[in-house]
Amino acid sequence: MAQIQFDAKSVEQFVGANELKEIQPLITMADQELRNGTGAGSDFIDWLNWPSDYDKEEFARIKAAAKQIQSDSKVLVVIGIGGSYLGAKMAFDFLHPSFNNELADDQRKGVKVYFAGNSMSASYINDLIRVIGDQDFSVNVISKSGTTTEPSIAFRVFKQKLIEKYGEAAAKKRIYATTDAKKGALHDEAQAAGYETFVIPDGIGGRFSVLTAVGLLPIAASGADVDQLMAGAKSAQEEYTETDLTKNAAYHYAALRRILYDKGYTTELLINWEPSLQYLSEWWKQLMGESEGKNQKGIYPSSANYSTDLHSLGQYIQEGRRDLFETVVTIDQPNTDLDVPKTADNGDGLQYLEGKTINEVNATAAQGVVLAHLDGGVPNLAIRLPKQDAFTLGHLIYFFELAVGISGYTFAINPFNQPGVEAYKTAMFALLGKPGYEEETKAFRARLNK
């Protein structure tokens, strides 16, 4: 039985049944390239079987480390950027109450989790230091190389704070490093200092790494159920094996995205109706954008948070350029609900909503918006989640990872590299005067001084 429901009924007026039949050979080819390891980037497809093949010994160490963090700390500072950050943040928001860090200790399952190293803002770092205050804390630094600018700066700051608070020897016991198994600056420092270390697998790229130690340690420390997270991913691995796209929801989604792209719908908006799903969209944007955006091809991934963004982006979506489509994520059984209060008068005009719950209003609004956007020429795909729990999230993560792997191969690109990312790094390092970039420094400064 499917753990999530993919619904394409609202796209039928834009995509004919014959088009699905015509794209099936392309989907079959992509499936063979992915599963046989014959496609571009095949060195980075270990995520494909990871839900069943993950390192069980390290998984046990992750859970033990999470318990240790919970026993000696009130706060865990997670330092990372991109794939070393977005997956854990997405899961934290998805699996916990909206204000989890503000709850009293006896109302919260695990430690407070804060994220750093995802920007170069001194104000953000100083604000976080003030929030931590005198609370006991630990650090999970996540970096394959250990030299990425943003997390490396943040790690220097919080390592210094640990040393100031606990002394050098005790500070080392509060640092957990997730990094390369054999090499890199962070690996070498962790080995020399004796930090407890977890591995970023060589065969899994950053944007696919949330189900590895990269995401699992902070998720477990937060009190979420990582066993159920992995079980959900395994259920998806077992479910999405059919090559026939009419029997494989992940392939169906990939196929429809490609058909819409070929018709000129080049921007996809991932839509949510719950604030706790906002970072699902942020994680998804990196997964899709970094995988597909190559060789002047690919669907541009964007997002909107409804109903909030209906008051800012709604006009454009309804009547702007017809180059976008929506994939709407909804939850059948939200974790909590609330009745619309009854009042003696009807000054706000909401008496017609009395007797309903806020979730009912939200769900009905979502249906109405889909109808309006369809009338406005916006294709709509739907992903319905049964619950907002760890099992469902694990299943959804694998659904999107598999879909983009298939979709990427239909574009005849390597979905698992990110060569364009190096361009901005080169310019940034050169202008900052990093050793080894002297020629680039001269060239970029000359361009700026023109």
Taking the C-alpha atoms of residue 396 and residue 234, their distance in angstroms, rounded to an integer, is 11
Residue type, 186: L
Neighbours of 130 (CB within 10 A): 8
Taking the C-alpha atoms of residue 114 and residue 88, their distance in angstroms, rounded to an integer, is 10
- Which of left, alpha, beta for 41 (phi over 0: left; psi -120 to 50: alpha)? left
Taking the C-alpha atoms of residue 60 and residue 111, their distance in angstroms, rounded to an integer, is 19
Tokens of 414: 């390597």
Taking the C-alpha atoms of residue 15 and residue 131, their distance in angstroms, rounded to an integer, is 51
Taking the C-alpha atoms of residue 120 and residue 444, their distance in angstroms, rounded to an integer, is 21
Q: What are phi and psi of 156, to 5 degrees?
A: -55, -45
| Catalytic residue flag (residue 425) | yes
Residue type, 211: L
- Selecting among 290, 292, 326, 401, the annotated active-site residue is 290
- Selecting among 67, 247, 297, 425, the annotated active-site residue is 425
What is the DSSP secondary-structure string of 280-312? HHHHHHHHHHHHH--TT-SPEEEEEETTGGGGT
Taking the C-alpha atoms of residue 114 and residue 131, their distance in angstroms, rounded to an integer, is 10
Taking the C-alpha atoms of residue 137 and residue 166, their distance in angstroms, rounded to an integer, is 10
| Catalytic residue flag (residue 434) | no
Taking the C-alpha atoms of residue 348 and residue 346, their distance in angstroms, rounded to an integer, is 6
Taking the C-alpha atoms of residue 430 and residue 262, their distance in angstroms, rounded to an integer, is 39
Helices (H) and strands (E) counted in the chain, each on its own, are: 17, 10
Taking the C-alpha atoms of residue 30 and residue 17, their distance in angstroms, rounded to an integer, is 20
Residue type, 163: I
Residue type, 378: V
Whether cis (ω within 30° of 0) applies to the bond prior to 291 is: no
Please give the positions annotated as active site. Answer: 290, 425
